[in-house]
Amino acid sequence: MYLLDTDHMSLIEFGGTEGQRIRLRIRSVGADDVATTIVSYEEQMRGWLARLAQAKTRERQVVAYLQLGRQLQNYCSIPVLDFDDRCAAEFERLRQSSIRIGTMDLRIGAIALANGASVVTRNSTDFGKVPGLLIEDWSL
Question: Which pLDDT does position 14 carry in this prediction?
Answer: 84
Amino acid at residue number 90: E
Share of the chain above pLDDT 70, in %: 100
Spell out the domains of the chain, with CATH numbers in brackets.
2-43+80-136 (3.40.50.1010)
- Per-residue pLDDT tens over the stretch 56-88: 999 999 999 998 998 999 999 999 999 999 999
Determine the Cα–Cα distance for residues 130 and 106; give it in Å rounded to an integer: 8
Average pLDDT over residues 95-117: 97
Question: Which pLDDT does position 13 carry in this prediction?
Answer: 87
Share of the chain above pLDDT 90, in %: 93
Question: Which pLDDT does position 122 carry in this prediction?
Answer: 97
Determine the Cα–Cα distance for residues 23 and 77; give it in Å rounded to an integer: 12
Nearest to 91 by CA among 109, 77, 68: 109
Query: How does 30-59 read in b/e, with b if 16+ C-beta sit within 10 Å?
Result: eeeebbbbbbbbebbeeebeebeeeeeeee
- DSSP E strand boundaries for 57-139: 80-81, 118-120, 135-136
pLDDT higher than 90, residue 23? yes
